[in-house]
Chains A and B, each alone.
Chain A
Amino acid sequence: MTNKNGLTRVDGRLKVTGAIKYAAEYKFPGLVYGVVVSSTIAKGEITGIDSKAAEKSPGVIAVISHLNAPKIPGYDRKPNDFDPNIKTFNDSKIYFYGQPVALVIADSFERAKHAATLVKVSYQKQQQQTSLTANLQNSYKPWGDGSDYLRGEANAYRNASVKIEAEYHTPIHVHNAMEPFAMTAVWDGDKITVYTKAQAIKSMQQDIMNMFKLPIENVQVYSKVIGGAFGSGSPLWPYAKAALIGAKVINKPLKVVIDREQMFTMVGYRSPAVQKIGMGASADGKLVGITHEATGETSTYQQFGEGITDTTKFLYDCPNVNTQYRLTRLDLSTPTYTRGPGETTGVFALECAVDELAHALNMDPLEFRKKNYADHDPEENKPWSSKYLDECYSLGAEHFGWDRRKQKPASVIENGWLVGYGVGSGAYGAGRANCSARAKLSADGILLIQSSTSDMGPGTATVMVKIASDIIDIPVENIRFELGSSALPAAPGEYGSITTSSVGSAVFDTCTELKEKFKQIAGGTDNPDYLKILKEHNLPFVEVTHHTSGRAPDADKYSAHAYVTHFVEAHVHPATGMVKIKKVVSAVDGGKILNPITARSQIIGGVVWGIGMSLTEEGVLDHRYGKYVNANLGDYHVATHADVPQIEVVFVDKKDPVTNPMGSKGIGEVAIVGFAAAVANAVFNATGIRVRDLPITPDKLI
């Protein structure tokens, strides 16, 4: 359905009727159920597993652990960044609390679940370290000298006439997609078919090939729809390895779904961070220097690092910038990409610091940003491919009513609540990767386009149909986009806000080539009548497959980013410290907006994540055990309906001339960047209290 806001979701009907099938919803004759048993220590060795009671329990088919698992051919491979390198059921070593130690398989879910509680694992426990703040002294340079950056003079802010220094803390954030991770694995001899949630279908196929040393034709990955992932859905996680091994051992179709608690320990999370920022400006508000030091965490068995300090290097025009990034190894599972990975954490600190300095200068924080606007990339010393952040400032301010903001904190009270306005900006790289697509227009009038990309929610198929319909002029309801299978032409993973740009470019090129082909067949007409041509030439279909490079022409000459500016009105109750977000305007430079209705939803989604990040979300560990104490949705508070007001999204909607033929810049990641700072800044404006450790819960404001 097309309306003034674009195309409604092409798979929407399947979703609102409950008909669409997620990974755990495929039925097979003889399907059995696997439940993963998690470790109950954070560090040490398994000394024994007593599975007798579980094996005797009704309906149990097998209990699999390192004691009886077959040798996995690929476990001799060296790990790489995309393989979390927990070799499930390979040995007795425990790296984190909640690590899979056994898989119980039974003929019903209830029976498997119960039998899993009967598996008794004994351990030799070692003392674990799980606190980032307690282990900061053990940090190291994750990327050697590349961990540090210097432009101009280091720590130049110290000599500025007005300066601030502050330390910011962000906690663990857990993706908590609504759909629990699941893998349904079906072996047929040495061929494996899996149904799972995979943001990166082709790389998961590769991971499975590597694990079992199988050729590509033996591994089929389906991920037709993903019930949310937000960065957690790329690796072949330890639970999935357990499912693959389990299904192989029993030689039956096996379904393994992890539970909500395991969603906290087995599929990644956002690293907590401790950040120090020093920032100085001249008395008239021109930046002199920024120093940004960040430390995050990684596991003992794998390094995961992210660009926490990256945005600091280029967001503002500042002659002296030095940054450093460090990691500390802890006895936790490895963190992973989490919506706006790196930037979300780093820009929270950066944009709070900007607000703190503007306050110290007694300047309007938006004016301060404008005064330090970077009209070219000061880090790479390149022009921007396009940058309309200034329009985000002005459009957003106008829609929000920023001119009503009072510079003096704690000066507005409405109905007993303190009222404050805050702003925060962000950027995220507008990248792109290699992608292939196939397009086939048949005599029945259906245009089928295929690529092995995913859809974890943004509406991949919908925007691809939209892109195709702009090239091939046939009714939009006759255009189908098929994704979610490793057998389709290769696409990059759905991450890093690259999907529309990468897959969209491939769809654009493929459809353009298809159109050309029709023109050739028909002898050069500008607007081919496709069906007529097929009929006249007695063709059942015309098909093209096109590979599109991830390198846009001249891309190297430019620096490409999407931008956002969030405006927030926060109400704070002075007695109880409760915070309500009353109003949000998010102004976005995402290049040309290809499908406003779904694009708007992506921004709203990022804002809702930002509300959770700023006010409620925190993964809490009891360091005595190295274990989460809130690994459930009752105690880990994601935002509810009641926490979220109407959100106004304003798109600059101007084409980027470099990124891709559509002129778009990815917006899924940038949507959250800078939002938590906007809230913290609004809370400061409301109360005069500067909260530098998230989340801003009531106890921090009384």
Chain B
Amino acid sequence: MEDDKSLLKPQQGLHPEDNSRRNFLKQSTLLTAVALTPVAAVKAAESHMDEKIAEAFEKLPLKMEVNGVAKSLQVEPRATLLDILREQLDLTGTKKGCDHGQCGACTVHVDGHRVNSCLTLGIMVNGKKITTIEGLAKGDDLHPMQEAFLKHDGFQCGYCTPGQIMSAVACIREGHANSEMEIREYMSGNICRCGAYPNIVNAIQEVKEGGIAV
């Protein structure tokens, strides 16, 4: 991966350890750059301009492709891919179950590989291709794994389902769906509290045995 120089620029002079926006602005070399006069600075403070400026400089540009669509965003470095998908892009199919990599509900594909989006900082997928549950079907045609989940009743409440399906597709692609035992082991990063596990395994086996490329 190339070093993205544009990432470095806006952070000059940033003092993130300081929580006060006002202090930040006083210290910031950016202030001189925008050449605010004292009067303007007071006005800016009154209208919370300081926070708006601070906010602009706390955010970094993030370019990624989500479900085939190029996205260009400004994000705080601390924002996870999960929260960016759900809160900024309104792609709420990807679920927050535990927010700590312990349940798999947030599973998405990054450059074709399944990962926990709750532990992925958004800024770190700059330039990558993301596939979420919303990107699996082709128009009205469901992905074979989605069809199989429907047929085998591979869910009840449906909350873990997007993560299960994204993981199931990856499980087959990785070549880890060769037996019931192997599927169970390689699906164990996806918790289903409703307990649809046997149905999910059946769905995956059917898709695998169907031989259609997933």
A and B: bona fide binding partners: yes
- Residues on A lying within 8 angstroms of B by beta carbon are 1, 3, 8-9, 11-22, 24-25, 27, 53, 56-59, 108-110, 114, 118, 175-180, 225-228, 230, 257, 259-260, 456-459, 597-598, 600-602, 604-609, 632-634, 638-642, 644-647
Counting chain A CB atoms within 10 Å of each CB, the highest count among B99, B132, B195 belongs to: B195
Which among A13, A177, A642 is the interface contact of B142 at CB below 8 angstroms?
A13
With A110-B78, A178-B192 as known contacts, state yes or no: A644 contacts B198, CB within 8 Å: yes
With A18-B134, A642-B185 as known contacts, state yes or no: A179 contacts B196, CB within 8 Å: no
With A56-B19, A641-B185 as known contacts, state yes or no: A609 contacts B157, CB within 8 Å: no
B153-188 to A contact mask, C-beta < 8 Å, 1/0:
101111111100100000000000000100111011
Q: State the Cβ distance, A253 to closest chain B Cβ, in Å.
A: 13
Q: State the Cβ distance, B26 to closest chain A Cβ, in Å.
A: 14
Q: State the Cβ distance, B139 to closest chain A Cβ, in Å.
A: 11
Chain B residues in 8 Å Cβ range of A15: 155, 158, 161
Is B193 in contact with A9, judged by CB distance below 8 angstroms?
no
Interface size on B, residues (CB 8 A): 65
Please tell me if B206 contacts chain A, counting CB pairs below 8 Å: no
Is A633 in contact with B155, judged by CB distance below 8 angstroms?
no
- Residues on B lying within 8 angstroms of A by beta carbon are 19-21, 51, 54-55, 58, 76, 78-79, 83, 86-87, 90-100, 102-103, 105, 132-134, 136-137, 142, 146, 149-151, 153, 155-162, 165, 180, 183-185, 187-188, 190-201
Chain B residues in 8 Å Cβ range of A600: 153
Q: State the Cβ distance, A460 to closest chain B Cβ, in Å.
A: 11
In the complex, A136→B72 CA distance in Å? 61
Sample 29 A-B pairs with CB under 8 A, ordered by A number: A1-B150, A8-B151, A11-B158, A15-B155, A15-B158, A17-B133, A17-B136, A20-B158, A27-B90, A58-B21, A58-B58, A110-B78, A176-B193, A177-B157, A178-B105, A178-B193, A226-B157, A228-B194, A604-B198, A605-B194, A605-B195, A633-B100, A633-B102, A641-B183, A641-B187, A641-B190, A644-B195, A645-B198, A647-B198
Determine the main DSSP class of B at the interface with A. Answer: loop
Contacts beyond the supplied A18-B92, A227-B95: 14 A-B pairs with Cβ under 8 Å:
A8-B151, A9-B153, A17-B133, A17-B137, A175-B193, A225-B157, A260-B99, A260-B100, A604-B195, A604-B196, A609-B195, A640-B191, A641-B183, A641-B192
Is A118 in contact with B19, judged by CB distance below 8 angstroms?
yes
Is B54 in contact with A180, judged by CB distance below 8 angstroms?
no
Q: State the Cβ distance, A290 to closest chain B Cβ, in Å.
A: 31
Counting chain A CB atoms within 10 Å of each CB, the highest count among B90, B162, B185, B193 belongs to: B193
Q: State the Cβ distance, A84 to closest chain B Cβ, in Å.
A: 22
Chain A residues in 8 Å Cβ range of B184: 641-642, 644
With A109-B87, A605-B194 as known contacts, state yes or no: A225 contacts B158, CB within 8 Å: yes
Which among A458, A597, A638 is the interface contact of B193 at CB below 8 angstroms?
A638
Q: State the Cβ distance, B84 to closest chain A Cβ, in Å.
A: 10
Is B150 in contact with A53, judged by CB distance below 8 angstroms?
no
In the complex, A634→B116 CA distance in Å? 14
Which among B142, B156, B194, B201 is the interface contact of A16 at CB below 8 angstroms?
B142
In the complex, A53→B162 CA distance in Å? 38
Chain A residues in 8 Å Cβ range of B83: 109-110
Is B157 in contact with A601, judged by CB distance below 8 angstroms?
no
Q: State the Cβ distance, B183 to closest chain A Cβ, in Å.
A: 7
Which among B54, B103, B134, B137 is the interface contact of A178 at CB below 8 angstroms?
B103
Q: State the Cβ distance, A260 to closest chain B Cβ, in Å.
A: 5
